[in-house]
C-alpha cells in the first residue's frame, strides 16, 4: 500500500519519464545491431561509439545521481571543501586526453576488454591481473549501491517513505527494470538512455540556477547567509590555509582514480578510436560547469532555510520548496535516471572483469565467446541484486565507508595500468608488492579515521599535513615498486614476456566520421 502523502503530480511526471527511459533501454538492443553473444559487443558495444554518443555516455558515466545528491549535501554541511570535485573534473580531462587513447589503442589491437586484460598482456602475470580485477570489482560495488541512495532520496522527496516493503518496493522495481534492459541490450542501453538523462540534468540545472537564486534574493544574499551559518557547522565559504593540502590532494588523487574505475574505462574503450576520446576530453569540461552549479545548490539550501539531519534530502527538499510540482517531477526523474545510467555501466564493467579475468582465467580457460557473454550477463544481474540487497539490508553508512575505501583502493592500480602504458621497466612482482603495500597503507589510514573521512593528518616533523589517503598510499605503492624492481632485476627474477609492441600504443590519424 502506497503512503497517503505521496505527491501525485510529481510522481506522475516521474513515472512517465522513467517509462520513456525503460522503452529506450529495451529498444537499444536494435540500435547499431551487433552480435550480443560476443562480450566485445555486449560489454563494449563493438567499440563503435563516435564523438556524440561517447560524450553522452561518459558524461552519464562520470556524473552520477549520487553526485547530484552528495555534492550539494557536502557543501551544505562543510562549505568550500565540498568544491574539491570542481578542480578534479578540470584536471581529469587533460589526463584523459594524454593517457586514455593509448589504452584504447593497445586494447583494440589485442582485443582487451578490461584494464586487467591489458595488465595480463603487458606483464605476463595472471596474478597481477587478478589483483587489478578484484580491486576494480570491489571498488565499483559500493559505487553502484550509492546510486540507489540517489533514487531513495527522490522517492522520499515524492512522499514514498513508509517502512519495509512499502519503502523498498519502488527501488526494487526500478532496478529490476534496469537489470532486464541491461541484460538484453548491454552497453547500448546506458549509451542511449544517457542522452535522455543528460538532457534532463541540464534542463534541471539551468532552471535551478535561474529560478532558485531569484526567489532567494540573489547570489549575494545566498553567500551572505551561508557565510553566517557554516561556521556554526565548523565549515566556511572560503577555504582556509590548513585545508589547502587536503583540497589539492583530494582533487588530484580523485582525478586519477576516476579514470581508473572500471566503468570509466568501459566507457572509454567503447569509443570508435583514440581521436574520439581526445575530442571528448576537450568537450567534457562543459560538465564541469554544470558541476559548479550543482555544488551551489548546497549554499542555496542554507539560504532557503532547509534544516535536515539526513544530508541526502537536501536537494529533494530544496526542489520541493522552490519548483512547481510538475517540474519537481522532471528534476527527480533526472536524478533517478542519473542513477540508472552509471549503475548499468558499473555493473557491465564488473561483469567484464569477472568474466575475462576470473572466470576465463581460472574457471574455464577454454570458454567460448558465447559462454563469456552469457557469464557476463548473469554476473551483471548478480551485481545489481547485490547492490539492492546491500542498500535494503545494511545501514547506508557502511556503503559510504566502502565508497571511501573504493576510491583509495582503485588508485592503487595506477602503477600497473597507467604506468604500464608508458614503460615496461617495472617488474611484475614488484608491482604486486607495491599494490599490496598501497592497499594496506590506504586501508590503515582510513581505518585510523574510522572510515569517516579519507583525509589523513600526516605528521612530518612538527607539522601536520592533511592529505588524501589514496595519494599517500599510491606514493608508498610506487616507492615499493621501484625498490623491488631494482632488487628483482638484480636477482634476475623472470619478468615475463611483454605481449604488446611500441606501435600498439600510437594514436591513429584523425578520421572524418564523428557520429
Report residue 284: phi and psi, to 5°. Answer: -65, -20
Q: Whole domain around residue 249: which residue ranges?
A: 8-402
Contact of 34 with 46, CB cutoff 8 Å: yes
For residue 174, the model assigns a pLDDT of 79
The 10s digit of each residue's pLDDT in 473-493 is 999 999 999 999 999 999 999
For residue 512, the model assigns a pLDDT of 41
Beta strand pairing status for 455-460 and 463-468?
antiparallel
The 10s digit of each residue's pLDDT in 203-238 is 998 999 999 999 999 999 999 999 999 888 888 888
Cell of 496: 615475463
In a domain, 416, yes or no: no
In a domain, 305, yes or no: yes
For residue 21, the model assigns a pLDDT of 86
**Distance from C-alpha of 146 to C-alpha of 138, rounded to nearest angstrom:** 14
User: Of 107, 70, 139, 494, which Cα lies nearest the Cα of 316?
Assistant: 70
The structure's pTM equals 0.91
**Distance from C-alpha of 343 to C-alpha of 263, rounded to nearest angstrom:** 9
In a domain, 417, yes or no: no
For residue 97, the model assigns a pLDDT of 94
Contact of 267 with 61, CB cutoff 8 Å: yes
Q: How many independent structural domains does the chain possess?
A: 1
- Sign of the dihedral through C-alpha 392, 393, 396, 400: negative
For residue 164, the model assigns a pLDDT of 61
Residue with cell 574503450: 269
Cell of 67: 553526485
In a domain, 509, yes or no: no
In a domain, 167, yes or no: yes
For residue 511, the model assigns a pLDDT of 46
- CATH, residue 318: 1.20.1730.10
For residue 515, the model assigns a pLDDT of 41
Q: What is the DSSP string of 387-449?
A: HHHHHHHS-HHHHHHHHHHHHHHHGGGHHHHTGGGT---S-HHHHHHHHHHHHHHHHHHHHHT
Contact of 457 with 466, CB cutoff 8 Å: yes
In a domain, 329, yes or no: yes
In a domain, 23, yes or no: yes
Residue with cell 565499483: 140
- Sign of the dihedral through C-alpha 316, 322, 328, 333: negative
Instruction: State which residues of the chain have pLDDT below 50.
Output: 1, 511-515
Q: Where are the alpha helices (DSSP H) in 114-164?
A: 115-123, 126-157
**Distance from C-alpha of 245 to C-alpha of 183, rounded to nearest angstrom:** 44
In a domain, 459, yes or no: no
For residue 392, the model assigns a pLDDT of 77
Contact of 55 with 283, CB cutoff 8 Å: yes
DSSP single-letter state for residue 512:
S
Amino acid at each position: 500500500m502506497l503512503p497517503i502523502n505521496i505527491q501525485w503530480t510529481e510522481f506522475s511526471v516521474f513515472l512517465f519519464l522513467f517509462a520513456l527511459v525503460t522503452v529506450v533501454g529495451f529498444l537499444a538492443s536494435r540500435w547499431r545491431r551487433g552480435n550480443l553473444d560476443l562480450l566485445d559487443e555486449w560489454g563494449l558495444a563493438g567499440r563503435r561509439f563516435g564523438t556524440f554518443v561517447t560524450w553522452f555516455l561518459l558524461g552519464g558515466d562520470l556524473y552520477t545521481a549520487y553526485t547530484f545528491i552528495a555534492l550539494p549535501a557536502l557543501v551544505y554541511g562543510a562549505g568550500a571543501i565540498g568544491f574539491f570535485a570542481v578542480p578534479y573534473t578540470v584536471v581529469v580531462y587533460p589526463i584523459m586526453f594524454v593517457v586514455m587513447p593509448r589504452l584504447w589503442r593497445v586494447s583494440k589491437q589485442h582485443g582487451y576488454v578490461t584494464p586487467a586484460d591489458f595488465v595480463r598482456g603487458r606483464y605476463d602475470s595472471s596474478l597481477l591481473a587478478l589483483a587489478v580485477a578484484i580491486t576494480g570489482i570491489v571498488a565499483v560495488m559500493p559505487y553502484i549501491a550509492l546510486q540507489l541512495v540517489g533514487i531513495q532520496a527522490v522517492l522520499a522527496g515524492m512522499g514514498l517513505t513508509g517502512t519495509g516493503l512499502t519503502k523498498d518496493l519502488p527501488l526494487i522495481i526500478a532496478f529490476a527494470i534496469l537489470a532486464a534492459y541491461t541484460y538484453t541490450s548491454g552497453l547500448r542501453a546506458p549509451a542511449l538512455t544517457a542522452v535522455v538523462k543528460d538532457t534532463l540534468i541540464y534542463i534541471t540545472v539551468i532552471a535551478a540556477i535561474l529560478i532558485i537564486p531569484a526567489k532567494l534574493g540573489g547570489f549575494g544574499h545566498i553567500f551572505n547567509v551561508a557565510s553566517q551559518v557554516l561556521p556554526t557547522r565548523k565549515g566556511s565559504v572560503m577555504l582556509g590555509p590548513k585545508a589547502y593540502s587536503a583540497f589539492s590532494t583530494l582533487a588530484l588523487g580523485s582525478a586519477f582514480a576516476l579514470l581508473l574505475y572500471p566503468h570509466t574505462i568501459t566507457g572509454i574503450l567503447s569509443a570508435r578510436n583514440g581521436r574520439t576520446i581526445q575530442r571528448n576530453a576537450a568537450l567534457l569540461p562543459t560538465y564541469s560547469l554544470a558541476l559548479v552549479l550543482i555544488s551551489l545548490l548546497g549554499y542555496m539550501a542554507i539560504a532557503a532555510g532547509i534544516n535536515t539531519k539526513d544530508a541526502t534530502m537536501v536537494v529533494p527538499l530544496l526542489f520541493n520548496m522552490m519548483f512547481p510540482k510538475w517540474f519537481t517531477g522532471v528534476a527527480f526523474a533526472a536524478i533517478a535516471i542519473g542513477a540508472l545510467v552509471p549503475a548499468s555501466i558499473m555493473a557491465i564493467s564488473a561483469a567484464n572483469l569477472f568474466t575475462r579475468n576470473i572466470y576465463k582465467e581460472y574457471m574455464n580457460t577454454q570458454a567460448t565467446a558465447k559462454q563469456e557473454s552469457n557469464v557476463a550477463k548473469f554476473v551483471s544481474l548478480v551485481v545489481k541484486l547485490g547492490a539492492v540487497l546491500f542498500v535494503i539490508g545494511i545501514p547506508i553508512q557502511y556503503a559510504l565507508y566502502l565508497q571511501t575505501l573504493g576510491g583509495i583502493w582503485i588508485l592503487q592500480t595506477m602503477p600497473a595500468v597507467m604506468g604500464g602504458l608508458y614503460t615496461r621497466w617495472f617488474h611484475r612482482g614488484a608491482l604486486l608488492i607495491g599494490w599490496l603495500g598501497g592497499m594496506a597503507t590506504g586501508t590503515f589510514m582510513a581505518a585510523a579515521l574510522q572510515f569517516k573521512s579519507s583525509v589523513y593528518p600526516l605528521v612530518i616533523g612538527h607539522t601536520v599535513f592533511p592529505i588524501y589517503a589514496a595519494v599517500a598510499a599510491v606514493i608508498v605503492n610506487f616507492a615499493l615498486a621501484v625498490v623491488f624492481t631494482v632488487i628483482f632485476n638484480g636477482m634476475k627474477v623472470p619478468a615475463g614476456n611483454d605481449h604488446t609492441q611500441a606501435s600498439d600504443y600510437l594514436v591513429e590519424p584523425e578520421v572524418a566520421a564523428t557520429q
